[in-house]
Amino acid sequence: MGQTIEVWDKNELGETLLVSADRSWSGQDGEAFSQAPVDRETFPAELAGRLFEAGLGIDHVYVMSNTVSMRRPGGWDSEATEAAAEVISSFFRFYRDETATEQQSSEEEPAAS
């Protein structure tokens, strides 16, 4: 349930990963976080909290409009990049544990009579 966010671009610049998506998270003011926020009353705060909790070694998150910038000491490998993109793309999905294959399978099962 919920809608998957489309990640448009993932660009690495040293220790920083810039991810742009088809959703705007904030206005032009942006929000910065150096740890998981305790108060998560905004979409950027909730997103930053989830990124910190993903265990990727991120030490800074900045969210502005449809772009999320994350710093990871030591740089980014493909596994960490994809994990961060998955946190972002699944932000509005409420049942993240069901894989696409499981979802398709459950949709194809005939109803019990």
pLDDT in tens, 53-79: 999 999 999 999 989 999 999 999 999
Q: Which residue has the tokens 């979802």?
A: 103
Mean pLDDT of the chain: 83
Residue 46 counted as domain residue:
yes
Tell whether the model's pLDDT for residue 83 goes beyond 70. Answer: yes
- The pair of structure tokens assigned to 60 is 């800074």
Residue 29 counted as domain residue:
yes
Residue 81 counted as domain residue:
yes
Considering its fold, how many domains does the chain have in total?
1
- Distance, in Å, from the CA atom of 2 to the CA atom of 92, rounded to the nearest integer, reads 5
Residue 113 counted as domain residue:
no
Tell whether the model's pLDDT for residue 101 goes beyond 80. Answer: no
* 44, 25 Cβ separation under 8 angstroms: yes
* 85, 19 Cβ separation under 8 angstroms: yes
Predicted local confidence at residue 6, as pLDDT: 77
Confidence grade of residue 9 (pLDDT, cut at 50, 70, 90): very high
CATH of the domain at 85: 3.30.1370.70
Residue 111 counted as domain residue:
no
Predicted local confidence at residue 5, as pLDDT: 74
Structural domain containing residue 84: 7-102
Residue 2 counted as domain residue:
no
Residue 97 counted as domain residue:
yes
- Distance, in Å, from the CA atom of 99 to the CA atom of 35, rounded to the nearest integer, reads 29
